[in-house]
């Protein structure tokens, strides 16, 4: 039916031919940067914090003045002053003295520790009783402890998460440079496919692939454009793909990817550009194809939703988001998985934590049933030409989240 390539070969062909979908850079406001890929390494131009800072409410002290103290025998220190939040200390901490300090306050000169308020007692005569000793450096974040000047904080290509935004804010970045979001066009095909809001009649089916693929592409940071469902007609599909290529960086066509009389996707992609491959030795997802059309990738994905989703994750997602940002977990199989198809096989799985580590339980189902994935946390791959995996075999589960 098809001259298939192996899964690894398909990945290599795609990633070598299309190393970057979009590499242009734009500047965005910091609160609009979450989920975007940072364009350049972020290098700290200053240290954080800029001063020695207390992590608790209490009293700044010289640690050695507290050694040996207890509830029964507190250390008695003279109160030398108070630190105002956000202000520069106006006093120093000399031996046998202490300074009142709030959380986040600047530690005064001379002090090398802070005693929590709970272990202190004010006597009302200008002295403070310390009932618990502290070690040097206790309850203090020292200058540049968090960030050192010249340190690479965020590497180029990283998808920015909320904690990255916080790091940038702490260094005074109100804007940042990010890669432009690639535009992905999605086209579903088939005489039997109707819009989601329609009520199917006879053998019609609602369009599942468009919303699934759109959500998957958006999760990778792409902008998505969806196009009307196209019937099994060469001219109409050709026109739709050509239109999408005029405004998109990548196009995904689902359905019509096999070799039947009405399967036009391969014919259209071959007419528009150069076919890299048509057929991948996987189950589900064998009819998958990829073409180079004017330096842009166009994928023909299976009509079966689960197969289309798996092939998106394996071949399309790496072009949109770095593989290192995907989440994997090593787990032991709770049940054996037979496989003798001569193809790599994707198996959905639930992952639970057992006494001796993570356990993966295969979720059985056919490739056309998207509902099976609702009970799965991810999937693993049974290698090609492997007769299956036994109970207890260790697998690498790629998590959907």
Under 8 Å between Cβ of 313 and 398:
yes
CA distance linking residue 74 with residue 92, whole number of Å: 22
Q: Kindly give the confidence (pLDDT) of every residue in the chain, 401 residues in length, as a single tens digit, with 9 standing for 90 and above.
A: 467 999 999 999 999 999 877 778 999 999 999 988 899 999 988 888 989 999 999 999 999 999 999 999 999 999 999 999 988 999 999 999 999 999 999 999 999 999 999 999 999 999 999 999 999 999 999 999 888 898 898 999 888 999 999 989 988 899 999 999 999 999 999 999 999 999 999 999 999 999 999 999 998 889 999 999 999 999 999 999 999 999 999 999 999 876 665 679 999 999 999 999 999 999 999 999 999 999 999 999 999 999 999 999 999 999 988 666 678 899 999 999 988 778 899 999 999 998 889 999 999 765 556 777 888 999 999 998 888 899 999 999 999 87
Please tell me whether the overall predicted TM-score, pTM, comes out greater than 0.85 for this model: no
Q: Backbone phi, then psi, for 118, in 5-degree steps? A: -65, -25
Element (H, E) at 224: strand 223-226
Contacts of 143 (CB under 8 A, 6+ apart): 47, 49, 50, 51, 52
Cis omega (within 30 of 0) for bond into 284 = yes
CA distance linking residue 249 with residue 254, whole number of Å: 17
Residue 98 has a pLDDT of: 98
Fold of 25-48+146-179: Molybdopterin biosynthesis moea protein, domain 2 (3.90.105)
Residue 350 has a CB neighbour count (10 Å cut-off) of 16
Quickly list DSSP for 166-181.
Answer: HHHHHTT-SEEEEEPP
Per DSSP bridges, beta strands 183-188 and 175-179 are unpaired
Under 8 Å between Cβ of 301 and 186:
no
Under 8 Å between Cβ of 322 and 159:
yes
Residue 325 has a pLDDT of: 66
Annotated domain spans of the chain:
7-20+182-324, 25-48+146-179, 53-141, 328-399
CATH 2.40.340.10 is the classification of domain 328-399: yes
CA distance linking residue 15 with residue 323, whole number of Å: 11
Homologous superfamily (CATH) of 7-20+182-324 is MoaB/Mog-like domain (3.40.980.10)
Residue 3 has a pLDDT of: 78
Tokens for 352, please give them: 């639970």
Contacts of 270 (CB under 8 A, 6+ apart): 291
Residue 340 has a CB neighbour count (10 Å cut-off) of 11
Element (H, E) at 270: helix 265-272
Task: Report the greatest alpha carbon distance in the chain.
Answer: 97
Contacts of 34 (CB under 8 A, 6+ apart): 160, 161, 162, 165
- CA proximity to 339, closest of 321, 357, 307, 362: 362
> Domain spanning 53-141: which CATH class is it, in words?
mainly beta
Under 8 Å between Cβ of 128 and 79:
yes
CA distance linking residue 373 with residue 310, whole number of Å: 11
């Amino acid at each position: 039916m098809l001259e298939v390539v192996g899964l690894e070969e398909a990945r290599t062909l795609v990633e070598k031919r299309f190393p970057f979908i979009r590499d242009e850079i734009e500047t965005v406001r910091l609160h609009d940067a979450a989920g975007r890929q940072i364009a350049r390494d972020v290098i700290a131009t200053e240290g954080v914090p800029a001063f020695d800072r207390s992590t608790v409410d209490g009293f700044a002290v010289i640690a050695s003045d507290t050694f040996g103290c207890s509830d029964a025998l507190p250390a008695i220190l003279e109160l030398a002053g108070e630190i105002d939040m956000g202000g520069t200390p106006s006093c120093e901490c000399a031996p046998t003295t202490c300074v009142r300090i709030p959380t986040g306050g600047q530690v005064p000169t001379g002090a090398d520790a802070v005693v929590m308020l709970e272990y202190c007692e004010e006597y009302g005569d200008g002295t403070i009783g310390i009932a618990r000793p502290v070690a040097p450096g206790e309850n203090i974040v020292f200058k540049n402890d968090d960030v050192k000047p010249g340190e690479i904080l965020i590497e180029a290509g990283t998808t920015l998460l909320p904690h990255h935004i916080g790091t940038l804010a702490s260094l005074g970045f109100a804007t940042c440079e990010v890669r432009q979001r690639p535009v992905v066009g999605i086209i579903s095909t088939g005489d039997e496919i109707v819009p989601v809001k329609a009520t199917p009649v006879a053998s019609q089916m609602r369009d599942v692939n468009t919303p699934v693929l759109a959500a998957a592409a958006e999760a990778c940071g792409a902008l998505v454009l969806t196009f009307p469902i196209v019937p099994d007609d060469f001219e109409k599909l050709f026109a739709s793909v050509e239109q999408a290529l005029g405004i998109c960086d990548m196009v995904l066509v689902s359905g019509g990817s096999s070799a039947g009389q009405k399967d036009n996707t391969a014919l259209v992609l071959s007419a528009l550009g150069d076919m890299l491959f048509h057929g991948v030795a996987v189950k589900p997802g064998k009819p998958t194809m990829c073409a180079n059309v004017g330096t842009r990738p166009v994928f023909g994905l299976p009509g079966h939703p689960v197969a289309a989703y798996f092939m998106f994750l394996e071949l399309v997602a790496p072009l949109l988001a770095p593989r290192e940002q995907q989440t994997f977990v090593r787990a032991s199989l709770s049940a054996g998985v037979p496989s003798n198809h001569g193809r790599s096989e994707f198996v959905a799985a639930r992952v639970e934590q057992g006494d001796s580590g993570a356990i993966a339980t295969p979720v059985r189902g056919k490739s056309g049933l998207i509902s099976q994935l609702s009970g799965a946390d991810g999937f693993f791959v049974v290698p090609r030409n492997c007769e299956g995996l036994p109970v207890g075999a260790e697998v690498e589960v790629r998590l959907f989240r």
